[in-house]
Amino acid sequence: MSYEPGSTECLGLISAKESLLSALNSLNRIKDIEHLKSQLKEIYKELDEIHEGRKVLENEQE
């Protein structure tokens, strides 16, 4: 990942997003759980939006 985390919050968000991606990759091998994968994708999107907001906030503070 090319972005360097600027705070412990960003680092935590990055870690959480990477964990979700790992979970999604593992779940791809399991049938009939599309509803669970969909929920995880929505959580990932929400974390990504929070992360983007944190990056903007931290860039403004520089």
pLDDT value at 5 more than 70: no
Q: Looking up tokens 């929400």, which residue turns up? A: 46
* Percent of residues in the chain assigned helix, strand, coil, to nearest 5: 75, 0, 25
CA dist., res. 44 & res. 62, Å (int)? 27
- Predicted local distance difference test score (pLDDT) of residue 2: 45
From the number of C-beta atoms within 10 Å of its C-beta (0-12, 13-18, 19+), residue 13 rates as buried
Per-residue pLDDT of 33-46, as tens digits, reads 999 999 999 999 99
